[in-house]
Amino acid sequence: MAVYELNGGQLLRVARSIDGELHQHYYSLIGLNKTQQRQARKEARALDEDWKAQQARARSKRIRSAETDAGHSTGVRGINVVRRPSAAFRVQVQIEGKSHVREFSVKRLGADKAWNQATRFLAQCRGFKTVPKAWGSRMPDID
């Protein structure tokens, strides 16, 4: 919870960072009776929950649209192109501290099917209901 008591409990501060921007609001409890103080605390918790939801939506959006610049990159964060004897799409993602790595061979599956399976696996690992449309259009050219 991002509700903080300041000045010995006389002031409440609600603060969250959403998309790199600090959102904060202060509630003064000075001169309020117990009922009014409970109401102010309730409003602070409600504002914190609202900002928490906005923070989660912003994070999800940022993850879906993140791009990388490396030479082996596909443009989708979590999927890289590996070229050993033959090319493959490697999906690497961490979920709850556990690393998940899977490769989809272009030679065995074909470029389109390998890309579709890689994006589907990544979306599933990240908990998305469907594969984002932007990922489908980012399939790299395999030489």
For the residues 91-106, what does the mean pLDDT come to? 88
What percent of the chain is predicted at pLDDT more than 90? 43
Shared domain for 96 and 117, answered yes or no, is yes
- Compute and round to an integer the Cα radius of gyration of the chain: 23
Is residue 70's pLDDT more than 60? no
Residue 130 dihedral angles phi and psi, to the nearest 5°: -135, 165
Same domain, 73 and 123: yes
Residue 141 lies in a domain: no
The conformation of residue 1, written as its DSSP 8-state character, comes to -
Whether residues 81 and 127 share a domain: the answer is yes
47 and 72, same domain (yes or no): no
Q: Judge whether 45 lies within some domain.
A: yes
Q: Inform me whether the pLDDT recorded for 66 exceeds 70.
A: no
User: What's the pLDDT at 1?
Assistant: 60
Number of structural domains (the chain) is 2
Strand 11-18 versus strand 21-28 pairing type: antiparallel
Same domain? For 23 and 82 the reply is no
Choosing from 64, 80, 110, the residue where a domain stops is 64
The stretch 92-97 carries a mean pLDDT of 84
Q: Let me know whether 73 and 129 are in one domain.
A: yes
> Which range marks the domain in which residue 114 is found?
68-136
Summarize pLDDT for 3-42 with one digit per residue, the tens.
888 888 889 999 999 988 999 999 999 999 999 999 999 9
Q: Is residue 38 domain-shared with residue 77, that is, in the same domain?
A: no
Q: Predicted confidence band at 76 (pLDDT cuts at 50, 70, 90)?
A: confident
Does 13 map to a domain?
yes
**104 and 45 in a common domain:** no
Same structural domain for residues 33 and 91?
A: no
Q: Is 70 exposed, middle or buried (0-12, 13-18, 19+ CB in 10 A)?
A: exposed
Q: Is residue 142 part of a domain?
A: no
Instruction: Select the more confidently predicted residue: 9 or 53.
Output: 53
What spatial distance separates the first Cα and last Cα of the chain, rounded to whole Å?
50
Structure tokens at 109: 């599956």
Residue 137 — pLDDT band, cuts 50, 70, 90?
A: confident
pLDDT band at 109 (very low <50, low <70, confident <90, very high): very high
